[in-house]
Structure formats: C-alpha cells, structure tokens
Amino acid sequence: MARPCHAVGTLAELRSAVGQDYDAVEVIAIDEAQFFPDLLKFCTEASDHANKQVLVAGLDGDFQRQRFGQVSYYRMYSFVGLLALCDHIVAQGTFSDFACMSAGARLDTSFRHCHQADCRLCILWSTCFVFSKNCS
C-alpha cells in the first residue's frame, strides 16, 4: 500500500509539508535520521504530545566511531537497534565510512551519497590506508 512521502530539510517543516492531514497521521517514518538536527525535539513532540508512532532509521556513529547526529539519544524511547550489511564483504556494517572525504575531516551532510556501511575489518583497513597507519 503506497503512503505519501515528504522530503524536508528539518523535521519542523514536516507538519506544514503534510498540511491539514497531519492530525490524522498515526505513523511517521524518518529515514536518514542522523541528518536531522531537530530529531529528538520532533520525536518527543510527535510521540509524547501528538500521540504519533515514530519510526526512526539512521546511523548513530561515524567512521571515526564518534556520535553522529541525534539517533543515539533517541534510544531512551522504545528502541530496536538494527545493523546494516557491510558494502564490501558479508558482515554486519556496524560503522559508517565516507568514501568522498579527505583524511581528518568530519562527515559532511552535503555529501550524503558518499557514505557506506562498513564492518570492523573494513573500517580498520580503511583507517590504515587513509591515515597511513602501520596496521600490519
């Protein structure tokens, strides 16, 4: 069954994007949640005050094993953590790697098409090559 989808820059824009049908919406699904700076505020309002079921899909860490976005803070709610599949080998993609980035830079949200899921082995090998570490 098809459902309407809305592309927004911030979640605060969603209510106006949906329009008068917002009050009738029972479930809100958010993909690429790590890119929304207002994730926690929106989800709290939608679930606690507007009685919506909110489904959140997104990364909670970056390739440097640092917190990325607000997804990890969302765990205080009813939470089921799932893992991606590594883009290179058959393994759980626990990490996000950024194929379009120079060494030492932080993940830039303007290059969303450049991120990929990596397993621990691939992220360690990537770190060895990108940062010229001795990983033998």
Q: How many CA atoms lie within 13 A of 107 on its CB side?
A: 24
Cα 106 to Cα 22, 64, 66: the distances in Å are: 35, 8, 10
The catalytic residue among 13, 26, 32, 45 is 32
Q: Which amino acid is at 78?
A: S
Instruction: Check: CB of residue 120 under 8 Å from CB of residue 94.
Output: yes
Rounded to whole angstroms, the Cα distance separating 45 from 47 reads 6
13 is catalytic: no
Q: How far apart, in Å, are the Cα atoms of 47 and each of 14, 40, 131? A: 14, 11, 42
Measure Cα distances from 110 to 5, 8, 98, 117, 131 in Å.
21, 14, 12, 17, 23
Active site (catalytic) residues? 32
